[in-house]
């Protein structure tokens, strides 16, 4: 796509639900919805009224006085941005008087602005420059006198600079921070001539509360706030719309390029997931794509104690195929398998599972969703019939009560969190169920009505107690349940939850949630209007993860909070393509579209399509693969885009499993931790270098477009195809779109999806088929996918992970805004300046008991292992609970987590580990040994000079 700056209509669109208003602008008649501004109406007929403080992503402000117009029959010169259209209005946008007024206003702005346009970073991309031209400014009479010129730049932020000498105090940055991001980090400090933009309490940007979402930079009409990359490279000359590769929100961006070089990522206004907003990761943290540690050549080695040897693609692929065939010949067909990645595209995951099922001839394929949202798939399929969330993100703007369970959206899903916060500022009520006091509990203009700070591991008890209140107090939406759900199953469930042992008072002792607060939360959710539940890994990563998902579904059905806008059950997916990886048949027991491998009709359809017989037995899940490896019967694995050594629980067990295999193939951007145990390394491509699709948390399928050639030589799906061919299984795709065509042909919920349709519509949400050719924003509108909604009893079963004298504290893990998952990408960007290491959050009471001071090295020990990191003392966690992130391999938080898992899916119980914490002198012996192993494992043989 050629470079096109996005059109800015000046003010937001008015709701189209109201009546239309007819008016005349410069002699042209136009009809627009009531509430539209004169500025926007004019822009819609191609008349761009000069403006500076107005932009269509923000509420009209009316401060710059440049957009003045004349309205027949009215005195004065109203600002067109704050003047709504009225029936019969006659507007003139260009008169001699207006020209003179605008020139005068602009002259004043320019008199206090540096005239260094030719060397300015925004030269050619500056609204002030454009508007000076638009109003015909030719002379500035006010040369001498006080000015703001020469003020010092703030270059503290790693991604953008703030140059106050170029600021025109239009407040767009302040308003963007307030309205779009919702952080309220910026303000206009001082009055009159002394007015200036200030971050927090006049701090530098890096030290302030600014979260570097980039909204202020995007809103700035001058070069006051400008990306360092633009200053370094120059302005872009083309752009490509693509989809972010971080988190399940699925923001779409304009990748703005100069030649083959990426200049900046700017959130796309038309993107339906992000609506023009971004976070620090997607907006700025893409520098890993050309980081010096990226591996671009294939490498092999005979054993993991040897250095790597760079080889040609042909040698690497031939060697890999021969190793897999050798292993299968020696140990049997089911002795090998593979892992697809939620960071890769739908087409790539589909192809990996196809390679394993059709090429390896078994179903030993799994995906990283195993360790995050597999209970969502199980629970929602059981209750509603579809393994997916029910709403689109827009739905939150119609919610009256939002319940967040085990999720930290401001850190994990920041762009969705900004929209959620906007709705909360409009008056929606908030309930947070989380052991930690996450930022959303109390932030500017937001305070949760209830924060149920439960003891980790007691989700089911808390949610069943909420159900008890709803049933016992007669708050059930009986009409909904009778119409939409199985009534007899409901009656059985209602009788179960009504038992006094499930009352908040009875469960308080184990959950540590005060009964009165729990009752208040249940009443609010059931009676407060549209109730929407959003949840994350704090729900799923438990021994009863699937039961908790069922308990959430029960609550939503019992209160009628399903099947319309503003309600629903919404899993916030961790990685960018968790939903897609699951949809594509990455689980060992099911083919694409969640159809069990034992289903003869489905399997036979795939056999016909793929030309080979398929195994009708479920394969091994990731933890089962590792167990089988330790048992000596699973010997080879193909891992695309995952780092199981760092991300999966019980690191010692993972490393033992990997070490026991004879051929570990890692396809990735970097020599990740898993690659320490690999025999073949196949260099992968970044999201900037490939075509494909990602499916976000709202089932939205969006195009990933190649913006530059793959530095490693191949898109990831092409590498899988090479491997398949070398294994003797022919694949002949010329483009990723052909893989999607196959997915659509084989998967009923994707039947209407094609690259052409996605290109035309921007995105679609599955199901997308003959019944819903443009997709399905909200599911279960007239009834559930499975027919009647299914209520399931949810008895609380305490985790086997118990605290006691040896391990008296409970550890729970999570993530932080600036880092992503195992940090493979974000650690290789400037984001690490915000989070250089994992820290252990510990309550002041627990710290004092142990003589721990803030910043001390502490050892965290569980029955699985121990590691050391530094302490962060905070009452954000409750006494008895400690918390850490898992972004840094030097910490390896998963050395501590155990092999306990969800009963239905084997999703690990990351969120509950009994630990002891004590002071230490620094890294443990194991950490030092591991560091040495990593160093040795990353040696690459020098290539002899030719």
* Contact residues for another protein, defined by CB under 8 A: 334, 363-364, 543-544, 546-547, 588-589, 596, 598, 617-621, 624, 627-628, 630-631, 633, 792-795, 797, 800, 899, 901, 903-906
Residue 320 Cβ vs another protein, minimum distance, rounded to whole Å: 23
Nearest CB to another protein, comparing residues 363 and 410: 363
Using CA atoms of 121, 126, 132, 134 in order, give the dihedral in degrees to the nearest 10: 140
> Which one-letter DSSP state was computed for residue 180?
I
Residue 627 Cβ vs another protein, minimum distance, rounded to whole Å: 4
Residue 488 Cβ vs another protein, minimum distance, rounded to whole Å: 12
Question: How many alpha carbons lie under 13 Å from residue 920 in its C-beta half-sphere?
Answer: 20
Cβ-proximal residues to 288 (8 Å cutoff; 6+ apart), any chain:
294, 669, 686, 824, 825, 826, 828, 829
Nearest CB to another protein, comparing residues 737 and 794: 794
Beta-sheet strands, E only, within 424-575 = 429-433, 442-443, 446-447, 450-452, 531-535, 568-571
Nearest CB to another protein, comparing residues 338 and 619: 619
Nearest CB to another protein, comparing residues 903 and 926: 903
Residue 756 Cβ vs another protein, minimum distance, rounded to whole Å: 37
Nearest CB to another protein, comparing residues 66 and 553: 553
The helix/strand/coil state of 163 is coil
Residue 821 Cβ vs another protein, minimum distance, rounded to whole Å: 26
Residue 798 Cβ vs another protein, minimum distance, rounded to whole Å: 11
Angle, helices 313-331/716-726, rounded to nearest 10 degrees: 50
Nearest CB to another protein, comparing residues 37 and 554: 554
Q: Which residues of 63-79 are buried (b: 16+ CB within 10 A; e: fewer)?
A: bbbbbbbbbeeeeebbb
Nearest CB to another protein, comparing residues 364 and 646: 364
Nearest CB to another protein, comparing residues 554 and 579: 554
Tokens of 241: 């719309």
Nearest CB to another protein, comparing residues 278 and 898: 898
Residue 840 Cβ vs another protein, minimum distance, rounded to whole Å: 28
Residue 908 Cβ vs another protein, minimum distance, rounded to whole Å: 12
Residue 122 Cβ vs another protein, minimum distance, rounded to whole Å: 57
Residue 799 Cβ vs another protein, minimum distance, rounded to whole Å: 10
CA 8 – CA 307 distance, rounded (Å): 55
Closest CA to 775 of 244, 267, 253, 272: 272
Closest CA to 913 of 873, 946, 883: 883
763-765: strand order across its sheet: 692-695, 700-704, 763-765
Residue 621 Cβ vs another protein, minimum distance, rounded to whole Å: 8
Residue 82 Cβ vs another protein, minimum distance, rounded to whole Å: 59
Alpha-carbon radius of gyration of the chain: 29
DSSP readout, 97-156?
Answer: HHHHHHHHHHHHHHHTS---GGG-TTTTS-HHHHHHHHTT-------SS---TTPPPB--
DSSP readout, 265-323?
Answer: EEE-TT-TTTTT---HHHHH--GGGG-TT---S-EE-SSTTSPBEE--HHHHHHHHHHH
Beta carbons of 619 and 362 less than 8 angstroms apart: yes
Nearest CB to another protein, comparing residues 10 and 657: 657
Beta carbons of 83 and 40 less than 8 angstroms apart: no
How many other CB atoms are there within 10 angstroms of residue 737's CB atom?
18
Tokens of 618: 């479920």
Nearest CB to another protein, comparing residues 410 and 898: 898
Closest CA to 468 of 503, 501, 493, 495: 503
Nearest CB to another protein, comparing residues 547 and 927: 547
Q: Distance between alpha carbon 652 and the CA centroid of its chain, in Å?
A: 29
């Amino acid at each position: 796509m050629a470079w096109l700056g996005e059109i800015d209509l000046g003010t937001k669109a008015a709701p189209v639900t109201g009546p239309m208003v007819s008016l005349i602008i410069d002699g042209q008649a136009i009809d627009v919805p009531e509430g539209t501004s004169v500025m926007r109406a004019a822009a819609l007929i191609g008349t761009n009224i000069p403006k500076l403080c107005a932009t269509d992503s923000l509420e009209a402000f009316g401060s710059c006085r440049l957009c003045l117009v004349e309205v027949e029959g009215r005195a004065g010169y109203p600002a067109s941005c704050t003047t709504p259209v009225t029936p019969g209005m006659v507007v003139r946008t260009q008169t001699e008087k207006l020209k003179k007024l605008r020139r005068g206003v602009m002259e004043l702005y320019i008199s206090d602005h540096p005239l260094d346009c030719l060397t300015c970073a925004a030269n050619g991309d500056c609204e002030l420059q454009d508007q000076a031209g638009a109003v015909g400014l030719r002379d500035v009479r006010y040369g001498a006198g006080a000015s703001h010129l020469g003020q010092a730049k703030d270059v503290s932020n790693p991604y953008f600079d703030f140059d106050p000498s170029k600021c025109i105090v239009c407040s767009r940055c302040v308003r963007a921070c307030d309205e779009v991001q919702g952080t309220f980090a910026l303000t206009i400090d001082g009055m009159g001539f002394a007015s200036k933009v200030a971050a927090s309490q006049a701090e530098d940007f890096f030290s302030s509360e600014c979260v570097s979402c980039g909204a202020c930079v995007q809103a700035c009409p001058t070069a006051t706030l400008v990306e360092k990359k633009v200053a370094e490279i120059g302005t872009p000359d083309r752009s490509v719309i693509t989809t972010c590769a971080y988190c399940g929100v699925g923001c779409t961006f304009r990748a703005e390029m100069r030649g083959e070089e990426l200049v900046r990522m700017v959130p796309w206004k038309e993107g339906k997931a992000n609506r023009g907003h971004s976070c620090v990761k997607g907006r700025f943290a893409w520098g890993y794509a050309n980081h010096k540690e990226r591996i671009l050549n294939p490498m092999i080695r005979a054993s993991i104690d040897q250095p790597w040897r760079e080889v040609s693609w042909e040698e690497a692929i031939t060697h890999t195929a021969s190793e897999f065939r050798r292993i299968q010949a020696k140990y049997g067909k089911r002795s090998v398998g593979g892992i697809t990645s939620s960071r890769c595209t739908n087409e790539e995951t589909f192809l990996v599972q196809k390679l394993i099922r059709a090429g390896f001839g078994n179903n030993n394929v799994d995906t990283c969703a195993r360790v995050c949202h597999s209970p969502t798939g199980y629970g929602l399929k059981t209750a509603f019939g579809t393994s997916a969330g029910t709403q689109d993100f827009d739905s939150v703007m119609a919610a009256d009560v939002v319940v967040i369970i085990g999720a930290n959206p401001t850190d994990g899903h920041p762009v969705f969190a900004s929209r959620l916060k906007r709705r909360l500022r409009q008056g929606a009520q908030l309930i947070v169920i989380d052991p930690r006091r996450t930022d959303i509990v109390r932030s500017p203009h937001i305070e949760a009505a209830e924060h149920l700070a439960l003891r980790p591991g007691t989700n089911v008890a808390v949610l069943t107690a909420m159900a008890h209140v709803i049933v016992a107090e007669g708050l059930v939406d009986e009409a909904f349940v009778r119409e939409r759900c199985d009534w007899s199953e409901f009656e059985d469930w209602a009788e179960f939850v009504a038992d006094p042992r499930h009352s908040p008072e009875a469960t308080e002792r184990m959950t540590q949630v005060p009964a009165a607060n729990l009752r208040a939360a249940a009443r609010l959710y059931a009676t407060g209007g549209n109730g929407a539940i959003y949840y994350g890994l704090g729900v799923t990563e438990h021994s009863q993860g699937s039961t908790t998902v069922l308990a959430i579904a029960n609550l939503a059905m019992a209160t009628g909070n399903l099947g319309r806008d503003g309600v629903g059950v919404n899993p916030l997916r961790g990685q960018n393509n968790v939903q897609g990886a699951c949809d594509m048949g990455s689980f060992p027991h099911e083919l694409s579209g969640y159809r069990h491998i034992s289903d003869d009709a489905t399997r036979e359809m795939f056999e016909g399509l793929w030309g080979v017989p398929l195994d009708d037995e479920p394969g091994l899940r990731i933890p089962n693969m590792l167990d089988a490896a330790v048992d000596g019967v699973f010997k080879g694995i193909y891992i695309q885009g995952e780092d199981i050594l760092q991300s999966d629980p019980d690191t010692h067990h993972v490393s033992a499993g990997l070490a026991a295999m004879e051929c570990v193939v890692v396809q990735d951007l970097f020599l990740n931790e898993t690659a320490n145990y690999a025999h073949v390394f196949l260099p992968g491509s970044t999201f900037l270098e490939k075509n494909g699709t990602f499916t976000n948390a709202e089932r939205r399928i969006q195009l990933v477009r190649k913006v530059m050639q793959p530095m490693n030589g191949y898109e990831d799906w092409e590498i899988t195809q090479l491997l398949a061919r070398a294994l003797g299984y022919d694949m002949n795709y010329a483009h990723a779109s052909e893989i999607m065509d196959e997915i659509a042909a084989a998967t009923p919920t994707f039947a209407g999806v094609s690259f052409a349709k996605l290109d035309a519509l921007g995105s679609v949400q599955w199901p997308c088929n003959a019944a819903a050719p443009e997709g399905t924003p909200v599911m279960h509108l007239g009834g559930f996918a499975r027919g009647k909604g299914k209520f399931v009893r949810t008895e609380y079963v305490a985790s086997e992970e118990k605290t006691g004298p040896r391990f008296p504290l409970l550890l729970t893990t999570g993530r932080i805004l600036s880092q992503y998952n195992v940090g493979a990408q974000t650690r290789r960007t400037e984001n690490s300046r915000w989070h250089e290491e994992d820290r252990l959050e510990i309550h002041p009471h627990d710290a004092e008991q142990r003589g721990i001071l803030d910043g001390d090295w502490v050892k965290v020990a569980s029955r699985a292992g121990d590691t050391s990191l530094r302490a962060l003392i905070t009452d954000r966690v409750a006494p008895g609970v400690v918390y850490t992130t898992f972004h840094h391999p030097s910490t390896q938080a998963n050395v501590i987590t155990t092999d306990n898992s969800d009963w239905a899916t084997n999703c690990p119980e990351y969120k509950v580990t009994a630990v002891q914490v004590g002071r230490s002198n620094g890294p443990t012996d194991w950490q030092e040994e591991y560091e040495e192993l990593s160093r040795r494992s990353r040696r690459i043989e020098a290539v002899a000079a030719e």
